[in-house]
């Protein structure tokens, strides 16, 4: 309500810089960034830390070794190095999830954007399609698609992306709908801005908050879904490691050797948590009403 | 008589709704000359905002003509329209929702220039922004602030500045002061009048506040449920209101004049309904104490004095 | 101040007496001082208009009286609110529960959101009676609901309808019915007609006037519209910066002979229907920053007559025939 006694340093920032500035002040979000960076960097550097051979190499002499200096996370019933398996498994978990979100986001945004902005018949047709997708539980849908396509990382990605499109289409449509008739959009139409320009300049930046939050939460869930699918033996099949698959492989021995389940479980948890923190932080940072 | 800057001929705007056709604007004929203000008065839902938006082609008109300098803009193609749009701008009611919260004051004011102005040079644009900000009474150091950091009065100045950047000839002001406090309201009204004098602007001033409309308008048009019930010069309308609805509106204004306190006032009963598939004839008939059978059939517009038009059978 | 309080105690016809009330909102960024020593007296059966702009503290005052300030944020730091002899600030919550809705009721600005969309309007009015009159037999309660609906001009047959089936003006009538069904002694009406059209506003004011006569409740009409006050109220209190800067009868204030510079400014801001003025004279500047408590007069920054003393010392009240003005301009004259 009141004119801020503007510090010069602040008013010199551009919008993007301000968002980053606010984001960086959010401790929880920064914690998420650090955590996610550690996970991603470690995963990226995997070949330097451990060779891929260690992932599949069986060493029956070193079965069920508890975490120690040689085997940082211990070994499983075939004596495979759990650390190496988690490193390489993380690559599949993380990058497959990102790919799923990327694909689902792009398709969903186009569908939702078109439905919301154009309205009328386009809206009806697209949204009924979305309703059909929503009517099937997403895991079931993904399972059905994989069963039809067969196992494989890319097939898993496509299956999960299809099952998430509906969610994105809905979120994007909702934010476009609320913003389409806002007065500042009308004002832009008044001085002759084109629809594309209005969508890119006014609607998208203002509606991005809920979309980003939805994307990050879905990212967390997708990491979980990939793991659950892996656990169920769909998508990524053993011996190719994947966090969910690793738990699944060891499910018979978790009772005796809990670290076999705990370590990959904690990895999944940390990754999901980091992603969620970042999502919340971004949402707050995008809101110009938050304090500087 | 000069050629009017803006003229509408039998302008109609209907909306399709689930319950039927909503006759939001019915056969409106108006003329606004250069440098003049037409006040459009009516209660919520009477179609006054829709009328303003239809004239600016923010809504497609159902039928009729909108003439700008004699040219029918409803027939313009995209390229011609872009030129016309620069000359016709709008100021919105809510200074909160009419400014994109993610853009700084400078960004908001320069956006029209960047979108459709002929100026491409960055320096030229920022010079123009400063000029407009000064014109609208915005301190230069506010250029980098965001809308939420400004109060209602300043925001409305930004909204006005944005409308002014393209140097328009005609501005539709949709309740520009209704959301503001009285002391701020007076500042904005003065600013509007100063700009009009300097730039020879024409306004269509949409409001429900009769005190404000009397202050700023040269001519006033009263609307009821999509129909124009009366149109006259400001003094004429306030001195000789002819239509019963206009009379009721004038009587309902709470004035600061204590002498009107004890007077028995003419309080309208009933409420406005939606003009969905309306019956022919006068839409005010169901609330009008003088309505006859004839009123339910037609209500032709007649000129009862020079420039004083009334759509009522009894006047 | 002590003498004033004694006077107040003697004048038993004061229903509500607020003295030196300070309220602040402790938000994350700053402490916002909403009321800074507001004093106000309301007689039994009075029609008081509380006039002020956004941020003057009008709604805060109403919420303070009902002790409904947002918990943990709004805080009453000083002052007293005496209602019918009881200091409300010292009473337990149970006492307030009995008071709210029964003795003091409130009408909110927005009729669209003050009704629960999932209950019929009849049930919502009945709920007020259920809360406050446990012994009243069912039939009598139902009869009361029918009576009050008839009074506010709604056919009792419609009591089984839901809020969305009514128009804006009708909803405001229902809200008024809810506020009046318990026949309160004091009605706080916070901008009851602002969201309505002029002709509907006239209807509602007419209705409130009639009901006021029937029940003889005291009404505090909170508004920014000097016109509404002129048409409805007997006395006026002008609020600025969390203080009453001027009070008096409608005649005293609307005579426009002797006014606080702020009140005079407000009058000049309104386009007058009877005179054709070329330009309005707005009050320069904007509302004082409520995060800072002014050392002197809260209006000093915007005042045309501001002198050195205005900036350094808060003015004391000047009063003549019950017309009070909080301004150095007047206290000086009196002293001379």
Confidence check: pLDDT of B78 > 90? no
Would residue B69 be called left, alpha or beta, if left means φ above 0 and alpha means ψ between -120 and 50 degrees?
Answer: left
Confidence check: pLDDT of A8 > 60? no
Confidence check: pLDDT of B170 > 70? yes
Residues B206/B44, Cβ–Cβ less than 8 Å:
no
Tell the residue number behind the tokens 């009058």, with chain if given: C267
Domain C2-103+184-335 carries which CATH code?
3.40.50.300
Confidence check: pLDDT of B169 > 80? yes
Instruction: Express as a percent the part of chain C with pLDDT over 70.
Output: 93
Tokens coding B314 = 């009894």
User: How far is the C-alpha of A181 from the C-alpha of A169, rounded, in Å?
Assistant: 19
Which residues of chain A make contact with B164, given a CB cutoff of 8 A? none
Question: At CB < 8 Å, which residues of chain A contact C?
Answer: 1-2, 291
Residues A203/A117, Cβ–Cβ less than 8 Å:
yes
Which DSSP state fits A182?
S
Q: C273 and B253: CB-CB below 8 Å?
A: yes
A 10 A CB-CB count for B194 gives 14
Contact B248/C at CB under 8 A: yes
Question: What dihedral do alpha carbons B239, B244, B249, B251 form, nearest 10°?
Answer: 70
A5 falls within a domain? no
> In this structure, which long-range contacts are made by residues A229-233, counting pairs with CB atoms below 8 Å and at least 24 apart in sequence?
A229/A139, A229/A142, A229/A143, A229/A146, A229/A156, A229/A160, A232/A143
Cis peptide before A239 (omega within 30 of 0): yes
Name every residue whose Cβ is closer than 8 Å to that of residue A14 and which is 6 or more positions away in sequence.
none
Q: What is the pLDDT of residue A208?
A: 78
Instruction: Express as a percent the part of chain C with pLDDT over 90.
Output: 32
Mapping DSSP to helix (H, G, I), strand (E, B) and coil, where does residue B248 land?
helix
Name every residue whose Cβ is closer than 8 Å to that of residue A116 and which is 6 or more positions away in sequence.
A123, A172, A173, A174, A175, A176, A177, A180
Confidence check: pLDDT of C49 > 50? yes
B315 falls within a domain? no
Interface of B with C in 81-140 (CB under 8 A): none
Q: Which residue of B has its CA nearest to C289?
A: B151
User: How far is the C-alpha of B132 from the C-alpha of B117, rounded, in Å?
Assistant: 14
Q: Mean pLDDT in chain A?
A: 83
Looking at residues A220-234, what average pLDDT do you find? 83
User: How far is the C-alpha of B39 from the C-alpha of B220, rounded, in Å?
Assistant: 5
Q: B102 and A2: CB-CB below 8 Å?
A: no
B137 falls within a domain? yes
User: How far is the C-alpha of C211 from the C-alpha of C180, rounded, in Å?
Assistant: 8
User: How far is the C-alpha of A49 from the C-alpha of A42, rounded, in Å?
Assistant: 8
A 10 A CB-CB count for B189 gives 22
Q: Look at C264 and B275; give whichever has higher pLDDT.
A: C264
Q: Which residue of C has its CA nearest to B180?
A: C54
User: How far is the C-alpha of B287 from the C-alpha of B299, rounded, in Å?
Assistant: 15
Looking at residues A210-238, what average pLDDT do you find? 81
B1 falls within a domain? no
Give the gap in angstroms from C-alpha A284 to the nearest C-alpha of chain C: 16
Instruction: Express as a percent the part of chain B with pLDDT over 90.
Output: 45
Residues C242/C78, Cβ–Cβ less than 8 Å:
no
Residues C21/C38, Cβ–Cβ less than 8 Å:
yes
Q: How far is CA B48 from CA B13, B25, B26, B55, B223, in A?
A: 11, 8, 11, 11, 7
Q: Which residue of A has its CA nearest to B93?
A: A183
Q: What is the pLDDT of residue A192?
A: 81
Q: Look at B115 and A169; give whichever has higher pLDDT.
A: A169
Contact A42/B at CB under 8 A: no
Chain center to CA of B275:
20
Which residues of chain C make contact with A2, given a CB cutoff of 8 A? 289, 291
Tell the residue number behind the tokens 């602002």, with chain if given: C194
Q: C29 and A291: CB-CB below 8 Å?
A: yes
We report the CATH number of the domain holding residue B239 as 3.40.50.300
Confidence check: pLDDT of A63 > 70? yes
Which residues of chain B make contact with A190, given a CB cutoff of 8 A? 56, 58, 85, 88-90, 163
Which residues of chain C make contact with B153, given a CB cutoff of 8 A? 286
Which residues of chain B make contact with C199, given a CB cutoff of 8 A? 43, 248-249, 252, 267-268
Q: Look at B237 and A14; give whichever has higher pLDDT.
A: B237
Confidence check: pLDDT of B173 > 90? yes
C interface test, pick of A2, A5, A25, A284 with most C CB neighbours within 10 Å: A2
A interface test, pick of C289, C291, C292 with most A CB neighbours within 10 Å: C289
Q: What is the pLDDT of residue A14?
A: 55
User: How far is the C-alpha of C79 from the C-alpha of A148, rounded, in Å?
Assistant: 76
We report the CATH number of the domain holding residue A126 as 1.10.3720.10
Q: Across the interface, which of B186, B190, B214 has its CB nearest the CB of C273?
A: B214
Confidence check: pLDDT of B315 > 80? no
Q: B94 and A188: CB-CB below 8 Å?
A: no
User: How far is the C-alpha of A229 from the C-alpha of C172, rounded, in Å?
Assistant: 57
Q: How far is CA B207 from CA A58, B6, B38, B46, C12, in A?
A: 82, 19, 11, 11, 46
Give the gap in angstroms from C-alpha A196 to the nearest C-alpha of chain B: 12
Confidence check: pLDDT of C9 > 50? no
Tokens coding A81 = 């190095």
> In this structure, which long-range contacts are made by residues A33-37, counting pairs with CB atoms below 8 Å and at least 24 apart in sequence?
A33/A274, A33/A278, A35/A270, A35/A273, A35/A274, A35/A277, A36/A271, A36/A274, A36/A275, A36/A278
Total number of domains in chain B: 1
Looking at residues B295-312, what average pLDDT do you find? 87
Residues C9/C2, Cβ–Cβ less than 8 Å:
no
Residues B4/B69, Cβ–Cβ less than 8 Å:
no
What stretches of B41-121 show up as alpha helix (H) in DSSP? 48-55, 78-87, 105-116
Q: Across the interface, which of B89, B98, B146 has its CB nearest the CB of A191?
A: B89
Q: What is the pLDDT of residue C287?
A: 76
Q: A12 and B81: CB-CB below 8 Å?
A: no
Mapping DSSP to helix (H, G, I), strand (E, B) and coil, where does residue A198 land?
helix
Q: A191 and B116: CB-CB below 8 Å?
A: yes
Looking at residues C102-119, what average pLDDT do you find? 86
User: How far is the C-alpha of B271 from the C-alpha of B256, rounded, in Å?
Assistant: 25
Contact C11/B at CB under 8 A: no
What confidence category does residue C82 fall into, taking pLDDT thresholds of 50, 70 and 90?
A: very high
Chain center to CA of A278:
11
What stretches of chain C show up as alpha helix (H) in DSSP? 2-10, 58-65, 93-99, 121-132, 138-151, 168-180, 198-215, 226-232, 250-254, 261-269, 308-312, 328-335
Q: B94 and A183: CB-CB below 8 Å?
A: yes
Give the gap in angstroms from C-alpha A1 to the nearest C-alpha of chain C: 9
Residues C39/C22, Cβ–Cβ less than 8 Å:
no
Stretch (H or E) spanning A231 = helix A204-231
Q: Mean pLDDT in chain B?
A: 88
Give the gap in angstroms from C-alpha A192 to the nearest C-alpha of chain B: 6
Listed residue (A91, A128, A94) closest to A111, CA to CA: A128
Residues B18/B193, Cβ–Cβ less than 8 Å:
no
Residues C54/C287, Cβ–Cβ less than 8 Å:
yes
Residues B22/B276, Cβ–Cβ less than 8 Å:
yes
User: How far is the C-alpha of A239 from the C-alpha of B176, rounded, in Å?
Assistant: 69
Q: Which domain holds residue A242?
A: 25-59+70-286
Phi, psi of A236 (to 5 degrees): -100, 120
Question: At CB < 8 Å, which residues of chain B contact A?
Answer: 53, 56, 58, 81-82, 85-86, 88-90, 92-94, 97-104, 111-112, 115-116, 141-142, 144-146, 148-151, 154, 159, 162-163, 166
Looking at residues A148-154, what average pLDDT do you find? 85
Q: Across the interface, which of B249, B255, B265 has its CB nearest the CB of C227?
A: B255
A190 falls within a domain? yes
Of A84-98, B56-70, B259-273, minimum mean pLDDT range: B259-273
Q: C289 and A291: CB-CB below 8 Å?
A: no
A47 falls within a domain? yes
Tokens coding C99 = 């008071």
A237 falls within a domain? yes
Gyration radius from chain B CA atoms: 20
Residues A287/A24, Cβ–Cβ less than 8 Å:
no
Q: C279 and B193: CB-CB below 8 Å?
A: yes
Q: What is the pLDDT of residue C4?
A: 45
- Neighbouring chains of C at 3+ CB pairs under 8 Å are A, B
Q: C55 and A1: CB-CB below 8 Å?
A: yes
Q: B215 and C267: CB-CB below 8 Å?
A: no
Of A17-31, B123-137, B226-240, C135-149, minimum mean pLDDT range: A17-31
Q: B271 and C283: CB-CB below 8 Å?
A: no
Q: Which residue of A has its CA nearest to B154?
A: A3
Q: B92 and A289: CB-CB below 8 Å?
A: no
Question: At CB < 8 Å, which residues of chain C contact A?
Answer: 28-29, 55, 289, 291
pTM metric for this prediction? 0.80
Q: Which residue of B has its CA nearest to C279?
A: B190
Tokens coding B129 = 């922004």
User: How far is the C-alpha of C324 from the C-alpha of A48, rounded, in Å?
Assistant: 84
Q: What is the pLDDT of residue A289?
A: 61
Total number of domains in chain A: 1
Tell the residue number behind the tokens 């104490």, with chain if given: B289
Residues C151/C209, Cβ–Cβ less than 8 Å:
no
How do the domains of chain C map onto residue ranges? 2-103+184-335, 104-183
Looking at residues B195-219, what average pLDDT do you find? 92
Tens of pLDDT, residues C238-282: 999 899 999 999 999 998 888 999 999 998 888 877 766 677 888
What confidence category does residue A93 fall into, taking pLDDT thresholds of 50, 70 and 90?
A: confident
Q: Which domain holds residue B94?
A: 6-310
SS3 content of chain B, % helix, strand, coil (to 5): 35, 25, 40
Confidence check: pLDDT of C306 > 80? yes
Stretch (H or E) spanning B207 = strand B202-207
Give the gap in angstroms from C-alpha B3 to the nearest C-alpha of chain C: 26
Interface of C with B in 149-168 (CB under 8 A): 167
Looking at residues B146-157, what average pLDDT do you find? 88
Which residues of chain A make contact with C285, given a CB cutoff of 8 A? none
Listed residue (B168, B170, B171, B166) closest to B119, CA to CA: B166
Q: What is the pLDDT of residue C334?
A: 52
Looking at residues A114-132, what average pLDDT do you find? 89
Instruction: Express as a percent the part of chain A with pLDDT over 70.
Output: 91
Tokens coding C149 = 């609906």
User: How far is the C-alpha of C114 from the C-alpha of C175, rounded, in Å?
Assistant: 7
Which residues of chain C make contact with B181, given a CB cutoff of 8 A? 53-54, 224, 287
Residues B52/B172, Cβ–Cβ less than 8 Å:
yes
Q: B58 and A189: CB-CB below 8 Å?
A: yes
Confidence check: pLDDT of B263 > 70? no
Q: Which residue of C has its CA nearest to A5?
A: C289
Sheet holding B20-32, edge to edge: B20-32, B6-17, B63-68, B71-72
Cβ density class C132-165: b for 16+ within 10 Å, e for less: beeeeeeeebeebbbebbebbbbeeeebeeebee
Tens of pLDDT, residues A240-275: 788 888 888 888 888 888 888 899 889 988 998 998
User: How far is the C-alpha of B18 from the C-alpha of A116, rounded, in Å?
Assistant: 19
A213 falls within a domain? yes
* Sign of the four-CA dihedral B45, B51, B53, B54: positive
Q: Tell me how many residue pairs between chain A and chain C have CB atoms under 8 A apart.
A: 5
């Amino acid at each position: 309500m009141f004119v801020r006694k503007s510090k010069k340093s602040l008013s010199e920032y551009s919008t993007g810089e301000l968002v980053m500035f606010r984001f960086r002040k959010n401790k929880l979000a920064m914690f998420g960034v650090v955590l996610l960076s550690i996970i991603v960097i470690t995963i990226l550097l995997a070949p330097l830390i451990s060779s891929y051979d260690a992932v599949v190499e069986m060493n029956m002499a070193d079965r069920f070794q508890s975490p120690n200096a040689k085997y940082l996370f211990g070994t499983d019933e075939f004596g495979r190095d759990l650390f190496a398996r988690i490193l390489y498994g993380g690559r599949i978990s993380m990058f497959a999830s990102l790919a799923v979100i990327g694909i689902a986001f792009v398709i969903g945004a186009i569908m939702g954007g078109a439905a919301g902005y154009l309205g009328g018949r386009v809206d009806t047709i697209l949204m009924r399609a979305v309703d059909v997708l929503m009517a099937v539980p997403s895991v079931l849908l993904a399972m059905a698609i994989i069963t039809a396509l067969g196992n494989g990382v890319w097939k898993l990605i496509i299956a999960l992306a299809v099952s998430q499109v509906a969610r994105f289409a809905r979120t994007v449509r909702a934010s476009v709908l609320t913003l389409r008739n806002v007065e500042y959009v009308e004002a832009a139409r008044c001085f002759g801005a084109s629809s594309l320009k209005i969508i890119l300049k006014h609607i998208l930046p203002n509606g991005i908050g809920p979309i980003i939050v939805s994307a990050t939460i879905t990212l967390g869930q997708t990491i979980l879904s990939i793991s659950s699918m892996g656990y169920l033996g769909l998508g990524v099949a053993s011996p190719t490691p994947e966090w969910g698959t690793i738990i699944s492989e060891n499910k018979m021995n978790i009772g005796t050797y809990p670290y076999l389940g705990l370590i990959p479980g904690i990895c999944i948890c940390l990754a999901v948590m980091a992603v969620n923190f970042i999502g919340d932080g971004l949402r707050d940072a995008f809101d110009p009403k938050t304090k500087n | 008589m000069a050629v009017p800057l803006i003229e509408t001929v039998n302008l109609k705007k209907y909306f399709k709704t689930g319950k039927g056709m909503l006759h939001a604007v019915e056969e409106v004929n108006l003329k606004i000359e250069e440098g003049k203000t037409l006040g459009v008065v009516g209660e919520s839902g009477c179609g006054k905002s829709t009328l303003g938006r239809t004239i600016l082609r923010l809504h497609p008109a159902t039928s009729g003509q909108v003439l700008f300098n004699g040219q029918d803009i409803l027939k313009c193609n995209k390229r011609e329209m872009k030129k016309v749009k620069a000359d016709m701008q709008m100021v919105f009611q809510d200074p909160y929702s009419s400014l994109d919260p993610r853009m700084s004051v400078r960004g908001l004011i320069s956006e029209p220039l960047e979108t459709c102005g002929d100026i491409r040079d960055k320096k030229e644009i920022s010079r123009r922004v400063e000029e407009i900000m000064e014109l609208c009474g915005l301190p230069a150091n506010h250029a980098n602030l965001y809308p939420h950091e400004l109060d209602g009065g300043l925001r409305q100045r930004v909204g006005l500045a944005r409308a002014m950047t393209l140097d328009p000839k005609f501005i539709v002001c949709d309740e520009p002061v209704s959301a503001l406090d009285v002391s701020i309201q007076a500042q904005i009204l003065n600013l509007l009048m100063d700009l009009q004098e300097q730039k020879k602007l024409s306004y269509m001033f949409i409001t429900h506040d009769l005190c404000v409309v009397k202050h700023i308008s040269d001519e006033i048009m009263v609307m009821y449920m999509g129909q124009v019930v009366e149109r006259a010069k400001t003094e004429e309308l306030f001195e000789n209101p002819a239509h019963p609805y206009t009379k009721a509106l004038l009587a309902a204004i709470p004035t600061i004049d204590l002498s009107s306190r004890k007077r028995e006032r003419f309080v309208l009963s009933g409420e406005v309904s939606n003009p969905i598939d309306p019956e022919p004839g006068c839409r005010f008939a169901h609330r009008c104490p003088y309505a006859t059978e004839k009123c339910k059939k037609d209500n032709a517009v007649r000129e009862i004095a020079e420039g004083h038009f009334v759509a009522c059978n009894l006047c | 101040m002590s003498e004033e309080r004694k006077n107040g105690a003697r004048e038993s016809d004061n229903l509500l007496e607020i003295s030196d009330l300070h309220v602040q909102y402790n938000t994350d960024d700053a402490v916002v001082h909403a009321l800074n020593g507001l004093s106000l007296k309301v007689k039994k059966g009075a029609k008081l208009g509380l006039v002020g702009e956004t941020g003057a503290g009008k709604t805060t005052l109403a919420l303070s009286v009902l002790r409904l300030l947002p918990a943990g944020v709004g805080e009453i730091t000083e002052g007293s609110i005496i209602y019918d002899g009881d200091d409300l600030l010292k009473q337990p919550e149970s006492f307030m529960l009995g008071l709210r809705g029964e003795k003091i009721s409130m009408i909110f600005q927005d009729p669209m959101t003050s009704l629960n969309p999932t209950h019929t309007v009849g049930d919502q009015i009945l709920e007020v009676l259920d809360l406050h009159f446990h012994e009243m037999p069912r039939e009598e309660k139902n009869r009361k609901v029918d009576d009050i609906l008839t009074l506010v001009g709604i056919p009792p047959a419609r009591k089984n309808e839901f809020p969305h089936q009514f128009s804006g003006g009708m909803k405001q009538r229902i809200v008024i019915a809810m506020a009046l069904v318990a026949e309160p002694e004091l009605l706080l009406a916070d901008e009851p007609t602002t969201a309505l059209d002029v002709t509907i506003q006239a209807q509602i004011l007419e209705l409130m006037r009639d009901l006021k006569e029937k029940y003889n409740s005291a009404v505090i009409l909170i508004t920014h519209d000097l016109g509404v006050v002129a048409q409805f109220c007997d006395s006026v209190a002008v609020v600025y910066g969390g203080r009453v800067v001027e009070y008096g009868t409608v005649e005293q204030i609307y005579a426009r002979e002797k006014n606080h510079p702020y009140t005079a400014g407000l009058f000049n801001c309104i386009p007058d229907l009877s005179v054709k003025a070329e330009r309005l004279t707005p009050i320069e500047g904007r509302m004082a920053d409520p995060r800072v408590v002014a050392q002197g007069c809260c209006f000093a920054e915007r005042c045309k007559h501001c002198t050195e003393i205005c900036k350094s010392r808060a003015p004391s009240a000047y009063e003549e025939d019950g017309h009070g003005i909080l301004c150095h301009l007047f206290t000086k004259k009196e002293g001379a």
